Amino acid sequence: MTNLKYKLRRWISTLTIVALLVVATFPLSSCSKSDAAIPEDLAERERLVSAEKVGTLSAGMLKQLAGAYAGSFQSQIKHDVAIYKVHYRTTFQGRETEASGLVALPMNLSTPAPLLSVQHGTIFEHDEAPSAMNGGLTGFEVFASGGYITLIPDYLGFGASKNLLHPYYHRQSSGIAVVDMIKAAKTLYAQEGIADNGQLFLAGYSEGGYVTLAAQQEIETNPQHGLKITASGAGAGGYDLTEMLADVVAGKPYTYPAYLAYVLMSYNKTYGWNRPLSDFYQEPYATRLATMFNGQHSGSAINKQLTTQTEQLFAASFLEGLRGDGERALKKALQENSFNSWVPQSPTRLYHGTADVIVPFANSKQTYERMKAAGAPELELIPIRNGTHSSSLIPMLTDLIPWMQSFRTNP
């Protein structure tokens, strides 16, 4: 159980929103309808490419493991679980791309099941992707044992798409990748004789919290997807990236600089800026980072090559541009990748630890207040008292699980 907690907390490494400030390279479309970027032939094609069964987990084992973080859910754990590695078609920058993830199917169901897509936190290494674990536990399989058809996306940049650099904190591509996996999974579970009951739940923490809201926005603003969200729970994501920029501009130290580098490296590549790293970083950090984001290095290993002092880490000209009228593309991207104009319509809970210094609690609080003022009908903010970024996931799950259960038509 200790090992399971460790795996879950590694995935919590989410973005360090401050990192998001450091880059901003994607030329985002101002269109509200993301389907405009979807190739017409893909819109009508089967999204599932392949599905490989990689293991079966017993209900008894999962019930024991649930004690690590989902004790209140133990009584619901009744089903053995079949694990499938899936490849599916999605789009990235207007082109068809193959993505991947895991699907955990409850076995021997007697009634239709709800669907749950759960989004993990930040990962750096290709071996950390859910589909790369070769049947190893992610920890989220317990939901399948409780009767949920459970999806665990890899994200673009991992698994089948590891040739790409992960588009970290890019709202549209994050949302589309999750939505297309939901559509692809329908083919798999139908082939396995499992019916869904029409309910769809979303949940995620850290970067996963951000991706959860990205998928929710994609579904709610594009009815042509044919999906309806029953409830959504997002924890400790960086929802307002423009607010996070203030910390970098102020030159505050950052305890996990690998997150900052992640955003910068990702945006520079994905947006096609291809600027030399010396535009952003001082030496020796610019040279060191050139080889660190190849999927072979952990966040901790990258941290060791950097400094927590942002005034020493970033190039003086870059900081000057952030503080003044420069770096306009970055500032524009941060605004467009934030949730500053969308209002969730489905029942939604935002969770955040009040002692989080990686993604400050104020980020969720301000996002909540803006959304409520704009008319969000069923939105709640759940503060986790004294919770840090690494300690707040399990308290979130303790509250989230019974809340989701209250919506189930076939509990």
If you write DSSP's letter for every residue of 140-174 in order, what string do you get? Answer: THHHHHTT-EEEEE--TTSGGGTTSPP-TT-HHHH
Which pTM was predicted? Answer: 0.89
Q: Which amino acid makes up residue 35? A: D
Higher pLDDT, 44 or 21: 44
Kindly tell me if the per-residue pLDDT of 5 is higher than 70.
no
Q: What is the pLDDT of residue 221?
A: 97
Q: Which among 272, 275, 311, 307 is positioned nearest to 290, based on CA atoms?
A: 275
Helix axes 393-405, 2-12, angle to 10 degrees: 90
Backbone φ/ψ region at 406: left (φ over 0), alpha (ψ -120 to 50), beta? alpha
Q: What is the pLDDT of residue 67?
A: 77
User: Are the CB atoms for 348 and 381 separated by under 8 Å?
Assistant: no
Kindly tell me if the per-residue pLDDT of 39 is higher than 90.
no
Q: Which among 197, 119, 182, 186 is positioned nearest to 155, based on CA atoms?
A: 119
Q: What is the pLDDT of residue 32?
A: 35
pLDDT confidence tier of residue 41, bands split at 50, 70 and 90: low
CA dist 297 and 288 (Å) reads: 12
DSSP, collapsed to helix, strand or coil, labels residue 355 as coil
Q: What is the pLDDT of residue 33?
A: 39
> Average pLDDT of 179-197?
97
- The per-residue pLDDT of the chain, averaged, comes to 88
Q: What is the pLDDT of residue 76?
A: 86
Kindly tell me if the per-residue pLDDT of 6 is higher than 50.
no
Kindly tell me if the per-residue pLDDT of 4 is higher than 90.
no
Please identify, in words, the CATH class of the domain defined by 2-241+336-405: alpha beta
- The tens digit of pLDDT for each residue in 104-153 reads 999 999 999 999 999 999 999 999 999 997 656 888 999 999 999 999 99
- The tens digit of pLDDT for each residue in 231-246 reads 999 999 999 988 877 7
Spell out where 212-291 has E strands: 231-235
Q: Which of 9-13, 70-74, 96-100, 314-318 shows the lowest mean pLDDT across its residues?
A: 9-13
Q: Which of 40-44, 330-334, 375-379 shows the lowest mean pLDDT across its residues?
A: 40-44
Higher pLDDT, 27 or 71: 71
DSSP, collapsed to helix, strand or coil, labels residue 73 as helix
pLDDT confidence tier of residue 42, bands split at 50, 70 and 90: low
Spell out where 170-240 has E strands: 196-205, 231-235
Within a 13 Å sphere around the CA of 25, how many CA atoms are in the beta-carbon half? 26
Kindly tell me if the per-residue pLDDT of 370 is higher than 70.
yes
Q: What is the pLDDT of residue 285?
A: 98
Q: What is the pLDDT of residue 147?
A: 95
Q: What is the pLDDT of residue 34?
A: 41
Per-range mean pLDDT, top range of 10-14, 64-68, 134-138, 145-149: 145-149
pLDDT confidence tier of residue 267, bands split at 50, 70 and 90: confident
Share of residues in the chain with pLDDT > 70 (%):
87
Q: What is the pLDDT of residue 270?
A: 86
- Phi, psi dihedrals of residue 157, rounded to the nearest 5°: 100, -5
Q: What is the pLDDT of residue 81?
A: 96
Q: Which of 170-174, 197-201, 246-250, 347-351 shows the lowest mean pLDDT across its residues?
A: 246-250
> Average pLDDT of 273-295?
96
Q: What is the pLDDT of residue 334?
A: 86
Q: What is the pLDDT of residue 371?
A: 98
Backbone φ/ψ region at 90: left (φ over 0), alpha (ψ -120 to 50), beta? beta
Q: What is the pLDDT of residue 9?
A: 45
Q: Which among 351, 367, 261 is positioned nearest to 304, based on CA atoms?
A: 261
Q: What is the pLDDT of residue 136?
A: 65
Burial of 45 (0-12, 13-18, 19+ CB in 10 A): exposed
Q: What is the pLDDT of residue 276?
A: 96
Place of tokens 């996306």: 153
